[in-house]
Amino acid sequence: MLGLLAKAIIPGKQHSPLWLTTVFGIIGGIIGNALARAFGIAATPGIDWGRHVLQLVAAVVIVFLGDMAYMALRGNRQRA
């Protein structure tokens, strides 16, 4: 879900397949949780808005960088 939300936030077209975007979103969620724990906002009373924002930001970054890497690898494979 995070990967799809991140893909919707990033402007322009992303070329990575849906399954890879989902994996990138999972990785972003894990990184966001680690960042929240490092900042001391992993467990707060009520809804953890800070943790959710960090997860989403991390997912956006990972989906963006992952899509760039996917396109670079895909482009190199097509030329060969």
Segment 9-41, tens digit of pLDDT: 888 888 889 999 999 999 999 999 999 999 888
Given pLDDT bands bounded at 50, 70 and 90, which one contains residue 59? very high
Which residues, including other chains, have CB under 8 Å from residue 48's CB and lie 6 or more apart?
A: 36, 41, 42
Reported pTM? 0.84
Task: Say how far apart CA 62 and CA 29 lie, in whole Å.
Answer: 10
- pLDDT tens-digit map of 33-58: 999 999 888 677 788 888 899 999 99
